[in-house]
Amino acid sequence: MVLVELLGALGGLVKVRTTADLDSAVFKLHYRVTSTILFAFCLLVTCNGLLGDPIACVHDDNPKLQDNVVNTYCWIHTTFTLPKHLDKGYGVGTGVVYPGVGPHLEDDERMYHAYYQWVPFVLFLQGILFYAPHWIWKTVEGGKLESLTMGLSMPIMRRDDRHEKITLLADYLHASLHNHNFYAIKFLACEALNLINSILNMWFLNKFLGGMFFKYGVNVLNFTETDQEYRTDPMIKVFPRVTKCDFNMFGPSGTIERHDLLCVLALNIINEKIFVFLWFWFVLLAIISSLALLYRLLVFFVPAVRVGLLQKRARLQYKTSMETVSRKLQVGDFFLLFLLNKNLELLSFSSVLEELSKRLTTPNNRRLHPDLEMSVPHHLQEHVYMRNEHEQHA
């Protein structure tokens, strides 16, 4: 219940509070879909009542061996399986009660399993990591887009109000031309961080599961195509459902008695399905994120691609208006227009581009609109006015 309350508090923290659409669909796959999936899995593996106790160990009738003590001991001190018994098959006549569980000697190789104690914490941490790039972008963006689109996102409004807001927005875009490149670079860095995050989480899970995660999904696919007589479930190797545990205690005369226990890890039935899903999801997410980043790089560094996208997204009355706008825009200007297009209805966005093209084709002084002077930073105003003086002298 404590973890549920913590997750509820985190949900309020990571809730998207802005009304502006600040990113792309691929970006949302990371911080909305993937984070939600991971937090949901974290809750699932902490609901012990679904399958009973996470561990239950079988022991002899010794009155000194209490179930709760034995189970707690084996959960804390980890259980193990024997690699020599993994591929033998199991059942009557094999001497193996379960893959990896059979008779053993002191010098036999053992594979210890301690990760199941940490699965909820790992899933919770991963959920935070996938949300982090969005939080960073929202922080460095600083509400700029929301302030620019305030009111214009409404599809129905008075003509005078619409014209006034469009004029103000066009004035700002004209006055701040070529000053948004760093704004676009910050978004590009956050998109790159999404891709790095996907790959880094796969590497992290591979380390967490003892180097068996990278091939986990491939092994599961190969398992389904193998003859049932000769196949060994790879999920049992990573997430064994039955393991062994050595429990030592003092006998009546003070000698050490060793009890060889058989432990059932019911929770691993859920864990194995969770990590199979995560393997395929992370691979798919890494591929999609790579393609999205490649597309963003093409848009940023190939002007012809930017012109084509702008022509596709807007409906200007004259083709020359589009050419004028496209020719004089830099990467940051285009990116800001791209975000405006996502947040403005089509008529308003086309009108903004028309107004912007008029200002770009008119060699008048780039003075800010009086209403904008109160909201635009002084250093930006000075930059605009110095540029005006330079153009007039030229």
Range 76-103 average pLDDT? 72
pTM for the whole structure: 0.77
CA-nearest of 126, 144, 151 to 344 is 151
Q: What is the predicted pLDDT for the residue at 113? A: 78
Q: Please, what is the average pLDDT of the chain?
A: 76
Give me the sign of the Cα torsion angle 370, 376, 379, 380: negative
The letter for the amino acid at 385 is: Y
Q: What is the DSSP string of 222-275?
A: HHHTS-TTT---HHHHHS-SEEEEEEEEE-TTS-EEEEEEEEE-TTHHHHHHHH
Instruction: Return the SS3 of 293.
Output: helix
Which phi and psi (to 5°) does residue 228 adopt? -60, -30
**What are 143's two structure tokens?**
């509400």
Which of 171-175, 321-325, 370-374 is predicted with the least confidence, judged by mean pLDDT?
370-374
Question: CA 50, CA 55: separation in Å to the nearest integer?
Answer: 13
Model confidence at 224, pLDDT cuts 50, 70, 90, reads low
Please tell me the predicted confidence (pLDDT) of residue 393.
47
- Residue-level pLDDT at 373: 47
Cα separation, 59 vs 73, in Å, equals 13
Residues 131-143: what's their mean pLDDT? Answer: 91
The 242-250 sheet, strands edge to edge: 56-58, 256-264, 242-250, 79-81, 111-113
Percent over 90 (pLDDT), the chain:
19
